[in-house]
């Protein structure tokens, strides 16, 4: 069985002069051939080998979106080490809190090496001085002797069942759970998903601005094109946020054919178009909605705005994906718009039945399972449910996680004895396709970023004027944005300075999570609903909020 190591080297050997990557940054671009790409990754391999890194050792990459990040990731993989990308510090995050998260991750994961920039060497050395970890910085020269001898020996010794990389579920208290994926799982996902999207490495061009620490950006927008030899045009997520239509420029300039977007990006791009703009989108055969709940109106707004530039509604597609399955679970057929299932709202909400209707809730299909994936819908007692009955989505596949890294307790909770991974998402099957109706787990998805409501409530409880333990957070769909907005409800202490409390709480949320509060409400004691065991009843509080404040 192949590994990431053998696959990457084979791609370079078969066509060393073909472009592997075009890297776009402000003020310029750089196209790297497959041969150049491999040599640059090997330079990092040599440095890691010289530092004594062994196969299976964890490497944490504290690097911003850059070629250094790209090469360091593959350099670690080439010697059988396990690369993991840490979200880089932005101007929104509190630097002290960020550094503490780095330390927590290194300590809990047992990482052997951290790669970062020279300016970060001293502060990270001080921070991690009590831990058995080495800090390497970008820019140092490789050991050429190691490049020609030891690396090839190490590559041959990598097992297909060994851990290839670590993806982390994101959350505002740092990286929550490390999803360990084997070489076998990653390569089978790439093979199966390539078939589902009819990938043709000779003619397709993948364009991506997605951050590489998120499974959609890491696998679909990075690992898949590199391993298949598909030309990848990689943009900065920070530049895209500043100018969303830059994606359209890149599609036209490089004849892009495939791209993955979270749902909020459809609305944002549509709103960002200016009169007189000109784009050529005729090459774009697939824009795949993934990582957030999918809304038909977001698709329609996108088509309406982009049709004048040659974009076809047949290019709309949807995938249901998650890090625990490497990436894709399902995929709609490319070349036709995804199905939209119209169902009775009352039956869906009250009885969990998806009954077809002429008018009602419009649920966009996520498509059929890709090759080697089994899907089932379970009730609360883990009994399988028939079609059009809502329950928890379970999956089995050849590319599931090996387990949560150094967390056997979490692995045992998530995977049943007969191999089903319980996703925590709610949905139903109809005519062999999957429809998502909600989430069982407490999780907000805001602009493609996963946020745990417990973290927001913890921030609120640390805010002056908020009664301790009497804050609740949840998400509500913001139709204008095509994504969820954060709502926080707080009961307050007597004589609280509400203006000061609001200013402090909003600022803390941004500094610690990089999201903004969409609506903050201060309410009298006793407003917040709790369960009989004293826990927050978030669904009930959300419904009460919508009744009283109208969302």
* Listed range (167-171, 508-512, 537-541) with the worst mean pLDDT: 167-171
Using pLDDT thresholds of 50, 70 and 90, give the confidence band for residue 365. Answer: very high
Using alpha carbons only, what angle is made at residue 84 by residues 82 and 89, rounded to the nearest 5 degrees?
155
| Percent above pLDDT 90 for the chain | 67
What whole-number distance in Å separates Cα of residue 525 and Cα of residue 165? 48
Q: State residue 171's pLDDT score.
A: 45
Q: State residue 153's pLDDT score.
A: 54
Using pLDDT thresholds of 50, 70 and 90, give the confidence band for residue 451. Answer: confident
Using pLDDT thresholds of 50, 70 and 90, give the confidence band for residue 514. Answer: confident
Which residue in this structure is represented by tokens 């999207």?
197
CB 223 within 8 A of CB 186: yes
What whole-number distance in Å separates Cα of residue 476 and Cα of residue 485? 5
Residues 220-241: what's their mean pLDDT? 96
Residue 31, Cβ density class (10 Å: 0-12 exposed, 13-18 middle, ≥19 buried): middle
- Residue 35 in this model has a pLDDT that exceeds 70: yes
Residues 256-280: what's their mean pLDDT? 94
Q: What predicted TM-score, i.e. pTM, was given to this entire model?
A: 0.86
What whole-number distance in Å separates Cα of residue 107 and Cα of residue 159? 26
Q: Pick the residue with more confidence: 238 or 447?
A: 238
Please determine, looking at this structure, whether the domain spanning 444-549 carries the CATH number 3.30.300.30.
yes
Using alpha carbons only, what angle is made at residue 345 by residues 366 and 373, rounded to the nearest 5 degrees?
20
Q: State residue 170's pLDDT score.
A: 47
Using pLDDT thresholds of 50, 70 and 90, give the confidence band for residue 391. Answer: very high
Residues 139-147: what's their mean pLDDT? 58
């Amino acid at each position: 069985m192949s590994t990431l190591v053998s696959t990457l080297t084979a791609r370079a050997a078969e066509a060393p002069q073909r472009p592997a990557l075009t890297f776009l940054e402000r003020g310029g671009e750089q196209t790297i051939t497959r041969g150049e790409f491999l040599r640059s990754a090997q330079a990092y391999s040599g440095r890691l080998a010289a530092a004594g890194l062994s196969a299976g050792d964890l490497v944490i990459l504290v690097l911003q979106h850059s070629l250094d990040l790209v090469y360091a990731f593959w350099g670690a993989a080439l010697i059988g080490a396990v690369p993991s990308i840490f979200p880089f510090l932005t101007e929104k995050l509190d630097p002290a809190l960020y550094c503490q998260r780095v330390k927590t991750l290194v300590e809990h994961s047992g990482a052997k090496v951290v790669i970062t920039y020279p300016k970060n060497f001293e502060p990270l050395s001080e921070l991690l001085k009590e831990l058995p970890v080495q800090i390497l910085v970008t820019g140092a020269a490789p050991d050429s002797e190691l490049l020609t001898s030891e690396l090839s020996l190490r590559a041959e010794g990598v097992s297909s069942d060994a851990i290839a990389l670590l993806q982390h579920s994101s959350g505002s208290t740092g990286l929550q759970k490390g999803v360990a994926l084997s070489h076998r799982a990653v390569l089978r996902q790439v093979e199966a998903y390539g078939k589902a999207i009819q990938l043709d490495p000779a003619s397709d061009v993948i364009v991506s601005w997605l951050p590489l620490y998120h499974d959609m950006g890491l696998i679909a927008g990075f690992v898949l094109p590199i391993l298949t030899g598909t030309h990848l045009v990689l943009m900065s997520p920070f530049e895209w946020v500043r100018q969303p239509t830059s994606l359209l420029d890149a599609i036209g300039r490089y004849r892009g054919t495939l791209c993955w977007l979270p749902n909020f990006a459809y609305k944002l791009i549509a709103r960002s178009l200016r009169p007189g703009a000109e784009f050529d989108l005729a090459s774009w055969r697939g824009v795949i909605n993934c990582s957030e709940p999918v809304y038909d109106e977001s698709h329609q707004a996108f088509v309406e705005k982009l049709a004048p530039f040659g974009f076809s509604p047949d290019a709309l597609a949807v995938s249901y994906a998650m890090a625990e399955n490497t990436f894709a679970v399902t995929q709609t057929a490319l070349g036709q718009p995804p199905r939209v299932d119209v169902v009775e709202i009352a039956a869906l909400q009250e009885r969990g039945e998806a009954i077809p209707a002429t008018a009602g809730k419009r649920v966009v299909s996520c498509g059929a399972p890709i090759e080697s994936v089994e899907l089932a819908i379970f009730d609360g007692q883990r009994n399988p449910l028939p079609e059009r009955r809502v329950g928890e989505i379970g999956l089995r596949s050849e590319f599931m996680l090996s387990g949560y890294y150094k967390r056997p307790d979490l692995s045992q909770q998530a995977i049943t004895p007969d191999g089903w991974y319980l996703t925590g998402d709610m949905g139903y099957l109809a005519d062999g396709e999957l429809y998502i109706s909600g989430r069982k787990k407490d999780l907000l998805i805001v602009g493609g970023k996963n946020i745990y409501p417990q973290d927001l409530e913890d921030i609120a409880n640390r805010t002056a004027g908020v009664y301790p333990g009497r804050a609740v957070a949840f998400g509500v769909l913001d139709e204008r944005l095509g994504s969820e907005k954060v709502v926080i409800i707080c009961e307050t202490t007597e004589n609280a300075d509400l203006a000061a409390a609001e200013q402090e709480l909003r600022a803390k949320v941004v500094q610690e999570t990089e999201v903004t509060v969409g609506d903050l409400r201060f309410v009298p004691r006793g407003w917040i609903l709790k369960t009989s065991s004293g826990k927050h009843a978030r669904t009930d509080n959300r419904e009460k909020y919508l009744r009283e404040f109208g969302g």
